[in-house]
Amino acid sequence: MRTDFHHILVQQEERVVTITMNRPEVLNAFNDLMLEELTLALEEAAREESVRCVVVTGAGRAFGAGQDLTNFVAPQKTADDGETAKISVHLEKYHRVVQLMRNMPKPVIAAVRGVAAGISCNIALACDIRIAADNARFIEAFARIGLIPDGGGGYLLPRLIGLGRALDMSLLTDEVSGPEAERIGLVTKCVPVAEFEGAVAALAKRLADGPTRSYGLIKELLYKSMDLSFQESLALEGQLQDSARATADHKEGVNAFLQKRPARYTGK
């Protein structure tokens, strides 16, 4: 994995890659370069076979504070025709990030310590599993500056916590703490901040040692099924189970069971 970035850190330990957003002086708020670098690192992690689990996290006391607001004061004019640049054009770059995380055939964990606001919060929502420290603060901050949830938040948030709570978080923009996030299903697990790094590492290792092809197919089945009828989902299930059945890890899982030993998955 490439590691020579300016605003992100990339570290691979065995089969786990950790991508750390690294602008701690502004709570890891996104500028264009950090967004571009995150995209490049995710693209490489997605295609690199030695990577079997990806962790996305933030340096210092925050996960991320959303879009960097220092150059966000007024709509910018484009250089070529002087038209007002549309925010939707810039948003396409965030859409690439959230689609990369959902579509890569391996698990992606958001490890959230401290604040996750605005687009940073919604990047966490687009990960497959969220683990929070008990000092985490989730803020759908968009309406505080007269915007709407973006980066897929309008789609993901109600599906994770229900429409009522999603409206509450988006309209009131109140902070949701780590323990509360666990209670309402916004995160899978909330742990004391002192135990956070160990808990993230254990979760990532467990997933990285698992049947990666099966995990990729599970992601495909569950994410696609959100938008399918029951019948369509059953058809997709059959198709994907045929693929799972053909994997080496499926054979290994069955053999390990019959031989009464732990399975040794290779991700193939």
CA atoms of 268 and 38, how far apart (whole Å): 26
Judged by CB under 6 A, which of 51, 56, 109, 118 binds ligand T3D?
118
Shorter beta-carbon distance to ligand T3D: residue 20 or 214: 20
Does 240 bind ligand T3D (CB under 6 A)? Our answer is no
Residue range at the interface with ligand T3D (CB under 6 A); choices 45-53, 59-67, 75-83, 206-214: 59-67
Judged by CB under 6 A, which of 147, 184, 218, 240 binds ligand T3D?
147
Does 115 bind ligand T3D (CB under 6 A)? Our answer is yes
Site for ligand T3D in 76-95 (CB under 6 A): 87, 90-91, 94
Q: Is 77 left (phi over 0), alpha (psi -120 to 50) or beta?
A: beta
Does 119 bind ligand T3D (CB under 6 A)? Our answer is yes
3 state SS of 110? strand
3 state SS of 256? helix
CA atoms of 112 and 107, how far apart (whole Å): 16
Shorter beta-carbon distance to ligand T3D: residue 16 or 59: 59
Tokens 């250089």 belong to residue: 79
Does 21 bind ligand T3D (CB under 6 A)? Our answer is no
Judged by CB under 6 A, which of 38, 124, 141, 208 binds ligand T3D?
141
Torsion angle (degrees, nearest 10) of CA 47, 50, 54, 59: -110
Total residue count of the chain as it appears in this document: 268
Does 67 bind ligand T3D (CB under 6 A)? Our answer is yes
Residue range at the interface with ligand T3D (CB under 6 A); choices 38-46, 96-104, 136-144, 195-203: 136-144
What single-letter DSSP state applies at residue 70? G
CA atoms of 140 and 161, how far apart (whole Å): 13
Shorter beta-carbon distance to ligand T3D: residue 29 or 111: 29
Rg (CA), the chain: 19
How many other CB atoms are found less than 10 A from the CB of residue 233?
16
Residue range at the interface with ligand T3D (CB under 6 A); choices 43-51, 137-145, 195-203, 207-215: 137-145
Dig out the tokens for 63 from the structure.
């996960």
Does 66 bind ligand T3D (CB under 6 A)? Our answer is yes
Does 236 bind ligand T3D (CB under 6 A)? Our answer is no
Does 144 bind ligand T3D (CB under 6 A)? Our answer is yes
3 state SS of 77? strand
Does 96 bind ligand T3D (CB under 6 A)? Our answer is no
How many other CB atoms are found less than 10 A from the CB of residue 35?
22
Judged by CB under 6 A, which of 17, 19, 21, 27 binds ligand T3D?
27
In DSSP notation, 128-149 reads: SEEEEETT-EEE-GGGGGT---
CA atoms of 88 and 136, how far apart (whole Å): 29
**Which residues make up the interface to ligand T3D (CB under 6 A)?**
26-27, 29, 65-70, 87, 90-91, 94, 115, 117-119, 139, 141-142, 144-145, 147, 150
